[in-house]
Amino acid sequence: MNENKAAQIRQLETDTEQLMEKIRQEKDIKKKQKLIAEREKKQRKLTAVRNNRVLSRETKRDLVAYSFIAPNFIGFAVFTLVPIVFAFALAFMKWDGSNEITFVGIDNFTRLADDTFFLAAFRNTIIYVIGTVPLTMVASLALAIVLNQKIKARGFFRTVAFFPYVASLVAITAVWSMIFHPSKGPVNYLLLKVFGVPQENLPKWFSGSLVLFTLILFSVWKYMGYYMVIYLAGLQGISAELYEAGSLDGANTWQKFKYITWPQLRSTTFFVVVMLTINCFKVYDIAVMLAGGGDGKLSTSATVLVYYIYQNAFNYWDLGYSSAIAMVLFLMVLIITLIQFRYEKKINS
């Protein structure tokens, strides 16, 4: 046993020396680096053998690190990574979940162009995102700035602004449907009595062209509290000295906002916009609850991509087509997020 070990050590020693020689002779930088790495590896092994260790210190350290990553990664792989890859493959297949999978090439994608309901869902989702993202951002920033001042009952107002975010969606959509009820709601009552809108022209908030507007309004109201909290955290990170310096130089409120607050909040705004965009593309529950009526089905005026994905997957069991729509949604979100990251990088440099 010991003899064996001694032989191994000797072998390794000669190996490292030979490598050292090679390194001295080698002219090419890249090859040299490679050789150096190889020599280091041998040396590590040598120390390991000398000290009677099975694994070198480095391997051990790496293993410990991986073992900490593993639990999360396994979960991610099983429940996210594998399904995503599978869905990507399914987009080129036809499958109903029971019978055999058949390959159909890009048929699922060519079908999209002529699908009235897909196009309606696509259009509605885009309008919803374009409407919701900037409005929510502006509203939450404004709220954060106001509630960052030293005003009376600040905690109370912060809670009020945050409340819609924590309240149950089902409950608050029920309240909204009563407030915006087309014939009995207080909003339409005001329009009728105070603004003199004739009864037959009263807006129907949950159907036709207005429904997207209602959805946007609802989302802004519900989510502004959450992003307000993020902005508040950002605002509190801005050093008071900056404002003091601004005051000394005679900056007015607007100038302070423009030259201090806004630039300082840039990374917060970036985070808010990215999260908002992603979340808005995934809209489903709000649309179904507000515009779904009794049976939770959405007509072309209110349908959104995620709803259509669900419908195709679990009503028609056309999993391939459903995956194709999911891919469109995925790519759209991916591209927009990449553009946002690129833009952020450009501004930073």
Partner 1 sequence: MKRKLLSILLTTSMLAAVLSGCGSGSGGSESAPEPAAEAESAPAEAEEETAQAPEAEAEETASGEAITLKWAIWDKDITPYWQAIKDTYEASHENVTIEMTDLGSTDYMTVLATELSGSGSEFDVVTIKDVPGYATLVSKNTLEPLDSYIADAGIDLAQYGGVDKQVTVDGSLYELPFRNDFWVVFYNKDIFDNAGVAYPTNDMTFEEYDALAKQVTDTTYGAQVYGTHYHTWRSAVQLFGVLDGQHSILDGQYDFFTPYYEMVLGQEDEQVCRNYADLSAEGLHYSAAFSGGDVAMLNMGSWFISTMIANIQSGEYDASLCGNWGMVKYPHAEGVEAGSTLGTITGLAVTSVSDQKDAAFEFVKWVSGEEGAKVMAETGNFPALMNDEIADIISGLEGFPTDAESKEALKVSNLYLEVPYAENVSAINDILDTYHKSIMNREISIEEGIAAMNEEVGKLGQ
Which residues here bind partner 1, judged by CB under 8 A?
Answer: 64, 67-68, 70-72, 74-75, 78-79, 96-99, 114, 116-117, 177-178, 180-184, 204-209, 293-295, 297-301, 311, 314-317
Distance CA 109, CA 279 (A): 24
CB of 124 to partner 1, least distance (A): 13
CB of 98 to partner 1, least distance (A): 4
CB of 58 to partner 1, least distance (A): 17
CB of 71 to partner 1, least distance (A): 3
C-beta separation of 155 from 181 below 8 A? no
CB of 179 to partner 1, least distance (A): 10
CB-based contacts of 338, cutoff 8 Å, min separation 6: none
Full DSSP string of 116-172: HHHHHHHHHHHHHHHHHHHHHHHHHHHHHHHHHS--TTHHHHHHHHHHHHHS-HHHH
Residue 102's beta-bridge partner residues? 94
74 vs 335 by CB, closer to partner 1: 74
99 vs 348 by CB, closer to partner 1: 99
200 secondary structure, DSSP code: G
Handedness of CA 147, 149, 153, 155 (dihedral sign): positive
65 vs 59, 72, 73, 80, CA distance in Å?
A: 10, 12, 12, 22
97 vs 237 by CB, closer to partner 1: 97
Distance CA 89, CA 279 (A): 25
CB of 75 to partner 1, least distance (A): 4
Residue 3 burial class via C-beta count within 10 angstroms: exposed 0-12, middle 13-18, buried 19 and up: exposed
C-beta separation of 251 from 234 below 8 A? no
28 vs 200 by CB, closer to partner 1: 200
25 vs 98 by CB, closer to partner 1: 98
CB-based contacts of 162, cutoff 8 Å, min separation 6: 225, 226, 228, 229
66 vs 343 by CB, closer to partner 1: 66
CB of 102 to partner 1, least distance (A): 14
178 vs 190 by CB, closer to partner 1: 178
CB of 338 to partner 1, least distance (A): 28
Distance CA 281, CA 111 (A): 22
Distance of CA 339 to the CA centre of its chain: 14
29 vs 113 by CB, closer to partner 1: 113
